[in-house]
Amino acid sequence: MMSDDVFHQSSVAGDYPTTAAAHPSRTDFFTRDVVNQAIAAIPTLGVQQAAEYLASMNVPPEVAIRTLVYRGK
């Protein structure tokens, strides 16, 4: 039963596209604004709190990682 619970939980957690072509470039204005706010807050609050903010605002994990790791590029 444990494996069924884990499978169900992982499939419900978020079905985000995995290919680069599936990610539209800056068409989700809400996510763009949230990401920009997180980037602006990094010098003041730090990376950990910026990551927590992105997670609480339901930013897809791969977008949050790109934001925090490659923020200057």
Mean pLDDT, rounded, for 57-66: 92
In a domain, 21, yes or no: no
In a domain, 13, yes or no: no
Instruction: Please answer whether residues 62 and 33 qualify as being in contact, where contact means their C-beta atoms are separated by less than 8 angstroms.
Output: no
In a domain, 5, yes or no: no
- Percentage of the chain beyond pLDDT 70 is 59
In a domain, 57, yes or no: yes
Instruction: Please answer whether residues 38 and 67 qualify as being in contact, where contact means their C-beta atoms are separated by less than 8 angstroms.
Output: yes
pLDDT of residue 2: 44
Mean pLDDT, rounded, for 13-23: 48
Which range marks the domain in which residue 36 is found? Answer: 27-73
Total domains, the chain = 1
In a domain, 9, yes or no: no
In a domain, 67, yes or no: yes
In a domain, 2, yes or no: no
In a domain, 8, yes or no: no
